[in-house]
Amino acid sequence: MEKRKSGSNGKITKNIDLDDSVSASINNQILLIKGPQGESNRKINQHNISIKIENKKITLESKRGTKKDKKIIGSLAAHVKNMIRGSMQNHVYILKICSGHFPMNVSMSGSKFIVKNFLGEKVSRVLQLKHGADVKIEGDLIHVASASKEIAGQTSADIEQLTRRPGFDTRIFQDGIYIINKDGRDLK
């Protein structure tokens, strides 16, 4: 899938192959990857790293062969792979609704995520969801999906933080919404 070359002149190159169902383009340092499940974009503004797209390959290249450039190219390659994977199959986070003391009511209204009766509170807690996040509530599970790993992860964290109660021991006061699966990694 990827090849890394380090030539005698200190140049570092990393190639990432694109799937047939995925297309990529770059415009003004913004890499856009489109696939069957959606699209994802990222601004790449590393002045010493160049990016080229040709023959279904994304090539990251550095003219210098420093350790810092190797690390930057490795990080950018990981981001690009996540973008490609997200455009082919969405990044999915799963959250669990835990309500032991008061029955909590969780619902969606347009692009707003609403938690009612959290620990008997009269005022609903409302979260404006990020653009690009697809949130589905199925019983006591919440599925957050997006082509962008950052959007899916941040939306999940925002939902978890919506029911956070600072100053209370979470071992005793277990009511809330908690991430139980981070994009394929089970946290149970």
Backbone angles phi, psi at 176, to 5 degrees: 150, -170
* pLDDT tens, N- to C-terminus, the chain (188 residues): 555 555 546 788 889 888 888 888 888 888 889 989 888 888 888 878 888 888 889 888 888 878 888 898 999 999 999 998 988 888 999 999 888 778 888 999 888 999 998 888 888 889 999 888 999 999 899 999 998 899 999 999 999 999 888 887 777 778 888 899 887 777 76
Determine the Cα–Cα distance for residues 174 and 178; give it in Å rounded to an integer.
10
- What domains are defined for the chain? 2-88 (3.90.930.12), 91-186 (3.90.930.12)
Q: What is the pLDDT of residue 51?
A: 87
pLDDT tens string 146-180: 988 999 999 999 999 998 888 877 777 788 888 99
- Strands 49-54 and 134-138, by their bridges, are unpaired
Q: Which residues contact 20 (CB under 8 A, 6 or more apart)?
A: 56
Q: What is the pLDDT of residue 1?
A: 56
Any residues with CB less than 8 A from the CB of 72 and at least 6 apart, and which? 46, 48, 49, 62
Mean of the per-residue pLDDT values for the chain? 86
Residue with tokens 């140049």: 11
For residue 157, what are its two tokens? 């964290």
